[in-house]
A and B are shown apart, each in its own frame.
Chain A
């Protein structure tokens, strides 16, 4: 048995044992699953994706009726997941920034309020917060007839928020084009201004010009194209509102809870990012005679962002995964309708859960690819 003392041979042996054990385990499970599925009369394969769903979905960004297939259910679910995640990311970033800045404020009261906000909402389970918004706050809003009205444009009641809906008409593409051109111009302006500063030291108020470009170009295009964007407003007819856009209580409860919960983590990430910048950096900036705003923008933020962004992106990822908790209140996203209703209808748990998990995995992979790209781009270039 002397050959066992060789580390290489031992390594190969360990791996062989692992592989054999792993393969045996898989075969054992596969066999059991096959017999169980056969005995219980569960169908297999992915044909079910083409069979009609037979149930309706309360809110769908694309046309959907019970005649559509389970594949359409999947698409609706994924779209709804992405929609709620997108708005969740937007709002939690805004709220997180506000709370994070408050947390760093030299004003003791504001600082403490932010700390209390973080400690309270971070430590309460997200599911509880979702249920609280859904069952307590949104359910006790007034009925349709007694809606809270904001300027007769927005109506709030226990069936959701009713807002004006914007419709694109012919010629709207001109406005879209103008927006793209404006963004392109701003990018070019920033590059040009940077080069100019490097060469001559002359500074150009890039921020002001950018805002001007971004506002004026699309506005001019809007009027040139003949006001191609129109709005329909919600109007009370009978027992419910018609027209406009409805945000259901399910969507709102999920969005509010995700926003408030994730904002605590984003605020903490921002705080730790800024606090991680060594004190000497700030002192050096002061001794160079930079103004407080220049200190923040040129010295502190570029370094803080490097530290904070990875954990903020991780929080975005968590938010996307946490949106699956909608299953508890029935917002029709991926887990609720596909891994829930479709699974119950077809009984093909294995296939459906596999597709669902792979979908989330794909989203995670895409986000982490973005993160890696970002980390590489932002890495301090050392010589």
Chain B
């Protein structure tokens, strides 16, 4: 019997694997592609080295006054010195532990809600109760805590408050509106459609003006909302219309058989919606909802125009300090970076969810 010894395996062809092959395929496959690559490198060369030079090499990190900023680059000393202002606004310096506890609590709550399984009722309870605890801690007036008016709240703290309250409030309103729009009852349906289309047709800023100027006229004298409450009402009512449209698109993804199955089981309308349709619709539309919440987060910066001091308006406040004139650039870059971290993080999360839900569909 003939013996056929195994031949040693050949090495992979140099031109098809490894770094050189990758470069060939993705950057240099044709003369046109080479030109594109050179063009891309030129763009990067024009943007990245000057930015790095400004932000790091020529920048000043040490010191505590404008005089310490001797280089040509960014003056990060400004950010360092004003950091408390960017985060807490005009909150009294000696009781900063209160906003710190609230913010840490929020982070802890989010981690608990995301990573600990079960305890669903407790989670819901905490989400509902936490704004109240947070308000008591921040505003004071109870348990011997010193009162801090909402006009003193500011910076990242205020941005986070507006964003989280806006999310928590706009969601249930949006669900109700979406149900109304799906309803077979003509009057309820047309009212919902009217509201949703009205709000989606106007800019947020007009709604905020409405909330801050006209809203007080709607209530008898003596009932007075402060500026923050008006902004919260405006933003929540505005975003609710967008949440409603997201959930409606979720409804449309639910097969008709689900409705029919629920009906044939003899479920009532609320049982059908609450137990069968809504859970599926919301699940399908979570990526869209996150998208809406991202734009809500970005939109919180508009409260600056009605005179609240959120993170963005802190740049103007801090750069108008006589000791720190002309520091807008550093301020805007810093604030843009913080906003970017939050929104980009949320969009990564939504992409992750999209993938996860997609796998579920296939499996």
A interface, CB within 8 angstroms of B: 11, 14-15, 18-19, 22, 29, 32-33, 35-37, 39, 105-110, 113, 119-120, 123-128, 131-132, 135-136, 321-322, 324-325, 327-328, 335, 339, 343, 349-350, 353, 356-357, 360-361, 363-365
Q: Is the CB of A123 within 8 A of B347?
A: yes
Residues of A within 8 A of B220 (CB): 32, 35-36
Q: Is the CB of A335 within 8 A of B203?
A: yes
Complex Cα spacing A276 to B268, Å: 39
Q: Is the CB of A107 within 8 A of B27?
A: yes
Asked if B318 is at the interface of the complex by the 8 Å CB criterion, the answer is no
Q: Is the CB of B217 within 8 A of A350?
A: yes
Complex Cα spacing A147 to B185, Å: 65
Label chain A's interface by main secondary structure. helix
Q: Is the CB of B336 within 8 A of A132?
A: yes
Q: Is the CB of B344 within 8 A of A119?
A: yes
Closest A-B pairs by Cβ, 10 of them: A364-B201, A108-B26, A109-B40, A123-B343, A321-B203, A324-B203, A361-B201, A125-B298, A349-B213, A125-B301
Q: How far is the CB of B160 from chain A (nearest CB, A)?
A: 14
Residues of A within 8 A of B344 (CB): 119, 123
Q: Which of B29, B206, B298 contacts A357 (CB 8 A)?
A: B206
Q: Is the CB of B201 within 8 A of A360?
A: yes
Known: A108-B26, A125-B298. A18 touches B203 (CB 8 A): no
Q: Is the CB of A124 within 8 A of B221?
A: no
Further 19 A-B residue pairs, CB within 8 A, beyond A109-B27, A335-B206, A361-B198: A15-B187, A36-B216, A37-B217, A107-B33, A109-B36, A109-B37, A113-B44, A123-B294, A123-B298, A123-B340, A124-B298, A125-B301, A132-B332, A132-B336, A136-B329, A328-B305, A335-B203, A357-B198, A357-B202
Q: Which of B43, B184, B187, B302 contacts A325 (CB 8 A)?
A: B302
Q: Which of A325, A328, A365 contacts B201 (CB 8 A)?
A: A365
Q: Is the CB of A353 within 8 A of B299?
A: no
Interface residues of B in 193-211 (CB under 8 A from A): 198, 200-206, 209-210
Residues of A within 8 A of B187 (CB): 15, 18-19
Complex Cα spacing A70 to B219, Å: 28
Complex Cα spacing A127 to B301, Å: 7
Asked if B41 is at the interface of the complex by the 8 Å CB criterion, the answer is yes
Complex Cα spacing A343 to B201, Å: 21
The contact sample of 7 A-B pairs, CB cut-off 8 A, is A37-B217, A109-B41, A110-B40, A120-B340, A123-B294, A127-B312, A325-B203
Q: Is the CB of B205 within 8 A of A15?
A: no
Q: Is the CB of A33 within 8 A of B312?
A: no
Complex Cα spacing A74 to B213, Å: 19
Residues of B within 8 A of A123 (CB): 294, 298, 339-340, 343-344, 347
Complex Cα spacing A360 to B36, Å: 42
Residues of A within 8 A of B200 (CB): 364
Complex Cα spacing A120 to B337, Å: 9
Complex Cα spacing A103 to B304, Å: 34
Known: A124-B339, A328-B304. A353 touches B214 (CB 8 A): yes
Asked if B126 is at the interface of the complex by the 8 Å CB criterion, the answer is no
Q: How far is the CB of B98 from chain A (nearest CB, A)?
A: 27
Known: A32-B220, A37-B217, A136-B332. A107 touches B40 (CB 8 A): yes
Asked if B119 is at the interface of the complex by the 8 Å CB criterion, the answer is no
Q: Is the CB of B206 within 8 A of A353?
A: yes
Q: Is the CB of B40 within 8 A of A327?
A: no
Asked if B56 is at the interface of the complex by the 8 Å CB criterion, the answer is no
Asked if B74 is at the interface of the complex by the 8 Å CB criterion, the answer is no
Residues of B within 8 A of A35 (CB): 220-221
Complex Cα spacing A213 to B264, Å: 66
Complex Cα spacing A120 to B188, Å: 42
Q: Which of A36, A119, A353 contacts B221 (CB 8 A)?
A: A36
Complex Cα spacing A361 to B200, Å: 8
Known: A105-B36, A127-B302, A353-B209. A135 touches B203 (CB 8 A): no
Complex Cα spacing A159 to B363, Å: 61
Asked if B143 is at the interface of the complex by the 8 Å CB criterion, the answer is no
Complex Cα spacing A35 to B198, Å: 27
Asked if B328 is at the interface of the complex by the 8 Å CB criterion, the answer is yes
Complex Cα spacing A360 to B198, Å: 10
Q: How far is the CB of A290 from chain B (nearest CB, A)?
A: 20
Residues of A within 8 A of B29 (CB): 106
Residues of B within 8 A of A135 (CB): 328, 332
Complex Cα spacing A365 to B339, Å: 32
Which residue of chain B lies nearest to A40 when distances are taken between CB atoms in the complex?
B217
Q: Is the CB of B339 within 8 A of A128?
A: yes
Q: How far is the CB of B230 from chain A (nearest CB, A)?
A: 13
Asked if B142 is at the interface of the complex by the 8 Å CB criterion, the answer is no
Asked if B218 is at the interface of the complex by the 8 Å CB criterion, the answer is yes
Residues of A within 8 A of B231 (CB): none
Q: Is the CB of B191 within 8 A of A18?
A: yes
Complex Cα spacing A11 to B209, Å: 37
Q: Is the CB of A124 within 8 A of B336?
A: yes
